[in-house]
A and B are shown apart, each in its own frame.
Chain A
Amino acid sequence: MVGIVGYGAYIPRCRIKVEEIAKVWGADAPSYKRGLGLQEKSVPQPDQDTITMSVEATKNALKRGPHVDPKKIGAIYIGSESHPYAVKPSGTTVAEAIGATPDIHCADFEFACKAGTEGMFVVYGLVKAALIEYGLGIGADTSQGAPGDALEYSAAAGAASFIFGNDKVLAECNETFSFMTDTPDFWRREQEFYPRHGGRFTGQPAYFKHITGCAEGLMKKAGTEPKDFDYVIFHQPNGKFPQRVGKMLGFTPEQIEPGLLCPLLGNTYSGSSPMGLTSTLDISKPGDKIMLVSYGSGAGSDGFIFTVTERINEVRDLALNTRYMLDNNKRYIDYGTYAKYRGKILTAE
């Protein structure tokens, strides 16, 4: 049996409300909140980035996988569009921090919001092929939206980390499926600080087409249908798209709700659907069937089907759960502080 043997998330404590951003740009906060299905978002402080959040999420994953000796982790893949370096891996820092070096394979992935599930997909394959004993798949981002752009209301920070292995599995991976096309709905060119996007073009031909294509392919491959699942997680660029795509596919709001963090978290990009999974695992019971479908612009989706095992009852409470981190210990900041923290202010060198 191959699957998840440890999982953990990390959410920075700072938040900014939609109203605070809207006030600066003269935008109508209620219509943004309605349009995006979003109240507030997480904000990283200057000392938090993809690497630090990945380390903390991984420490939580190791708490839930206490049998995993970091020295036996054979691969670390971090998916992010905000790796702190353009050239120099994030993964090696995480590997050093958890004591997994030097007998390990590292690679940093980038595929817009899909990069996190990519890491999970690859380590799952390596463990299944018995090339490694354990592997870490991490999705983490401290994403930036251009000031005043719709993305500024949602681009958030967070991380989720999963240890894959084949002993003491807490969620068995039953099936995977991926769906890719070349669709330029959102991008960031080399040297550019903020991304650009195709507005409504990011919807039907991008998000909806790839998620439905992936979910339908996955269910067909596994011989399942929506009612066979206890929970489903879709990528969460805003609070509304996951419910809409769920409805298109025949899922109920109740199947989606436990993993839907976006209304209070924002879009953590590569961390988005993986954090939906950590949040869902937190409330799952042995035997529960979970489907996860990510989406990354450019464009593609990775799909997974997991079955939760008895092990979940032993490890669930060994680390803070995701909703707890989302709901507690929050600090609201104003736009000026947010702009300072996010490097949006032109300062003297």
Chain B
Amino acid sequence: MFPARIWREIPQRYRLEANRCPQTGEIYFPPRLVCPEGKCVELEPVKLAETGTVESFTVIRVAPSAFTDEAPYPVGIVKLDDGAKMMCQIADAQIEELKIGMKVKIEFRKIQSDGKAGVHAYGYKCVPVRD
């Protein structure tokens, strides 16, 4: 994976930088240049909430080569507490405990590595809130 591709996503992947349409209030992640609803082009930067709930989930058992060491691993669609949604892995969860509506929080993890010699790509996963 060419490093520029992961480097340019750092604000989103590391810091959950998104934007919001001042007219509709909808949050876009990743940030957009045009609001698809209101057609507004002056969206304002926002940082996403770091807690949310699982809207849906699956367990990937046949994984792409970059993820075979981690399979089986859960992937979910998470609705954050500010209403924004994202797709990410659900780390640190037992498959049996996964359920729609479960509370999760964001953690910084390594998402994938480009073979044995390429760059590491870091970013967000969610983990169950148990505390």
Are the CB atoms of B69 and A97 closer together than 8 Å? no
B29 within 8 A of A: no
Given contacts A47-B109, A47-B125, contact A96 B131 (CB under 8 A): no
A31 within 8 A of B: no
Q: Which of A46, A52, A93, A320 contacts B69 (CB 8 A)?
A: A46
Chain B, Cβ-Cβ closest to A345: B69
Given contacts A48-B109, A48-B110, A341-B69, contact A329 B130 (CB under 8 A): yes
B111 within 8 A of A: yes
In Å, the complex CA distance between A99 and B69 comes to 31
In Å, the complex CA distance between A328 and B120 comes to 29
Are the CB atoms of A324 and B122 closer together than 8 Å? no
Are the CB atoms of B130 and A49 closer together than 8 Å? no
Chain B, Cβ-Cβ closest to A85: B120
A184 within 8 A of B: no
Given contacts A47-B110, A99-B15, contact A84 B92 (CB under 8 A): no
Are the CB atoms of A96 and B110 closer together than 8 Å? no
- Residues on B with C-beta less than 8 A from A99 are 15
Are the CB atoms of B91 and A45 closer together than 8 Å? yes
Are the CB atoms of B130 and A56 closer together than 8 Å? no
A61 within 8 A of B: no
Are the CB atoms of A96 and B116 closer together than 8 Å? no
In Å, the complex CA distance between A48 and B92 comes to 11
- Residues on B with C-beta less than 8 A from A349 are 115-116
Q: Digitize A89-117: 1 where CB-to-B-CB distance is under 8 Å, 0 elsewhere.
A: 00001001101000000000000000000
Q: Which of A97, A328, A340 contacts B130 (CB 8 A)?
A: A328
Q: Digitize A328-343: 1 where CB-to-B-CB distance is under 8 Å, 0 elsewhere.
A: 1101000000001100
Q: Which of B109, B115, B116, B120 contacts A84 (CB 8 A)?
A: B120
Q: Which of A46, A56, A320, A331 contacts B110 (CB 8 A)?
A: A46
Q: Which residues 236-261 of A have a CB within 8 angstroms of B?
A: none
Q: Chain A's nearest CB lies how many Å from the CB of B60?
A: 14
* Sample (5) of A-B pairs whose CB atoms are under 8 Å apart: A46-B70, A47-B111, A96-B14, A97-B108, A320-B131
Q: Which residues of A come within 8 Å of B, CB atoms?
A: 13, 45-49, 51-52, 55-56, 59, 84-85, 93, 96-97, 99, 320, 324, 328-329, 331, 340-341, 349
Q: Which residues of B come within 8 Å of A, CB atoms?
A: 10, 14-15, 69-70, 89, 91-92, 94, 107-111, 115-116, 120, 122, 125, 130-131
